[in-house]
Amino acid sequence: MWRIEPSENPDWDYARNKQVLLKSPMAEFSASTFTAPIEIGGRRFYGGNRDSQWQGLLIGPINGVIYKAIDAIYFSIPGLELRAREVLIGPGECEYRYHCDALEVSHRISLNGSIGEVALGASVGRPCWFAVLADPRPAEDRGEGLYEAEPGPERLVIKPSNAPFRMIVEGFDMAEPSGMRLQWRYKLGDGFRRMDSGAVKFVGDSRTVSIPFLLFSKGGSLRIRVPIPNGARGDWAPRAGIEGARFGEGPVAEALALRLRNLASFSMHLDGGWFPEAGAWWFRRPWVRDALEGLRWNLGAYQFLGWGDRVASLLDRLLDALRSLRGLPIVMGAKKFASDAVPQLLNVVWRTADALGDRGLLLKGIESASLVAEELLEGRAISDTALLDSILCCPADSSWIDSVVDIEGRPWPARLPMAWADEGIDPFSMEYGLVEVNALYIEALEGLAAASERFGVRAPRAIGELLGILGDGSDAFFKAHGTPPLAISPPHGLVDRTFGSPAVVAASALRGRLSGGAIANIWGEVSRRLLVHRRLVALGDGRFPFGILAREAGPVPYLGDREYHGPTIWPRDTPYLLELMEAVGEDVIGLLLNNLDHMVSEGAIGYCNELFSLPIGGNPSAGPESSNPVPVKNPAQYWSHWCDPFLERLPGLLGAGSRA
């Protein structure tokens, strides 16, 4: 288990606070590692603080809705005033350790999911009182969580007014009515920030939570069971096959094992099969592009876990969806298409077929690629993507940089220059060639053609024809403009020469087609204009590369949607950066060590943040880590949780760890 000091970190308005996150297929529990005591009826109760209203116990999604069940579980031991000592975090459980003089007390919290039920357990191991802070509601509904509480001799049943489940609290011997209501302040809120007197601060939020009863347990344990309604089953075992996964001794090896174990926790049940959800909190949903991006950089890890069959089965279902829908949705069940998901699916299919020796999967992938190529060549759209001359064009917000901002009452994709709003164009039409979408298609078609040869299969003519056309079109990005621009609009003659991570993705994907001089030129611009460094905190000393900016859009701090895909660092881009660095002979061990260091030193311990702000704009409480990128928004993102780059470079990484 990973050990954490139970203190807060006020740097950048507590952005670096350490969090506990426990995940299961139908639920998750999260809290701060910092203890925030509360007084109830003359007793002092202890439990982890919550920095976001998304923390506590979440259930779902159920019919597309994520629900919050409780805010926290607190405990009180009669006659004892405790001090927090440390927090231990492991797979599926955490332990808050306290002391009173020489007496040691542990508060263990565990999350389990069996078929049709979620169970949250709390154990202190000695007689104590428990307080359940209830807040049952749809998690995105900011109204008060209303419910009825029905006490019995052996259990308490909490029936929410606006959630399709009930909570059964068991393990207590006596119930004392409380009815206490608390106004809780969540300092990080939803992760949005604001400028306040020259300093960058989180917007924050506050809510009313309530305690229906105080529950006394002679055995010092409590269990909350949540039966899951029909059709919302959580029967995947997210940690199966990884107990004892070790890479040696020392903190780097321990952190690697923790990363691999937690990769398996991205597991939800969807339409009878496994699907890695996009992340924690509001990202507990089946985002297709996120899943494919994560699969691309975790194929080796899933083989290590013995989950190759799960990956192949998921790809098979996505290929079926592609054929039936003529595209892939952004989120399974949604209507809007993702332009980058189709080529990434084809990429992951040929890579998985190679890794598993799965001829059937490759044949199905080739068949799907042929369908895609034929449709595009005939002038029909696939996933809202059409072939214009030699460029694949799609709506500007259809790839992963998908935020939309308001410009004088007009919705505008942040992907495009705001100056284009005066050009009289429709940014949501299929008229924009996005550099990474075109590059991923070329990479996918080349990969399928090469895999076909290895398997002794002839690739259909349409695949080669489309590949030739797109190869000519790639010159429009890579040769006509030097460093690749983010977007081209052939119908309007517009070129967005903004530099950003999509160009790095494209250069990495097509590095085999580029000359050494072209790659060196792109790397020189990346290192000068996009590369962001970070100093190690937990796994050694030194300052190393950490990631790249999504878009070169001025040195501004992240506040909200306008900066979301701007000068921010997204770990989803880092594996492509790593491949580009290796292509020019750069050492990547520091980059890997730095990303592992973030995972165990800030945010949800054992997980990786969605994005990072540049450390600029006015720090309200500067500390020794103030110059490091600032974690913001979601604390655990699947496509940030790549493992293969570590597994493929273990000797160098563990060697660096032994010297740390």
DSSP code, position 551: B
pLDDT value for 659: 59
pLDDT value for 116: 85
Tokens representing 285? 């949903």
pLDDT value for 237: 56
β-strand pairing of 128-138 with 117-123: unpaired
pLDDT value for 554: 86
Radius of gyration of the chain measured on its C-alpha atoms:
25
β-strand pairing of 487-489 with 93-100: unpaired
- Could you report the average pLDDT of every consecutive run of 10 residues in the chain (660 residues)? 95 98 96 97 96 97 95 96 96 95 95 86 97 97 93 93 96 94 97 97 96 97 92 54 69 94 93 94 98 98 94 98 98 97 98 98 98 98 96 98 94 95 94 97 98 96 97 80 87 94 97 93 96 97 97 94 97 98 97 98 98 97 96 98 97 76
Tokens representing 20? 């506990």
How far apart, in whole angstroms, are the C-alpha atoms of residue 105 and residue 95? 10
| Cα distances (Å, whole numbers) of residue 636 to 42, 114, 255, 277, 574 | 38, 23, 16, 11, 16
576: buried, middle or exposed (CB in 10 Å: 19+, 13-18, 0-12)?
A: buried
Phi, psi torsion values for 523, nearest 5 degrees = -60, -40
pLDDT value for 437: 98
pLDDT value for 249: 84
How far apart, in whole angstroms, are the C-alpha atoms of residue 346 and residue 447? 9
| Cα distances (Å, whole numbers) of residue 141 to 28, 66, 148, 162 | 18, 10, 18, 10
Asked if 637 and 278 count as a contact pair (C-beta separation under 8 A), the reply is: yes
| Cα distances (Å, whole numbers) of residue 477 to 430, 483, 489, 578 | 18, 8, 12, 21
| Cα distances (Å, whole numbers) of residue 406 to 121, 195, 491 | 45, 19, 24
Buried b (16+ CB within 10 A) or exposed e, 290-317: bbbbbbbbbbbbbbbbebbebbbebbbb
How far apart, in whole angstroms, are the C-alpha atoms of residue 378 and residue 392? 13
| Cα distances (Å, whole numbers) of residue 552 to 171, 391, 529, 570 | 56, 24, 7, 13
| Cα distances (Å, whole numbers) of residue 371 to 130, 300, 380, 441, 632 | 60, 29, 11, 14, 41
Q: Show the DSSP H helices in 264-307 as ranges.
A: 288-296, 299-305
Peptide bond just before 177 cis, omega within 30 deg: no
> What is the distance, to the nearest Å, from the Cα of residue 583 to the centroid of all Cα atoms in its chain?
27
Mapping DSSP to helix (H, G, I), strand (E, B) and coil, where does residue 317 land?
helix
Asked if 388 and 473 count as a contact pair (C-beta separation under 8 A), the reply is: no
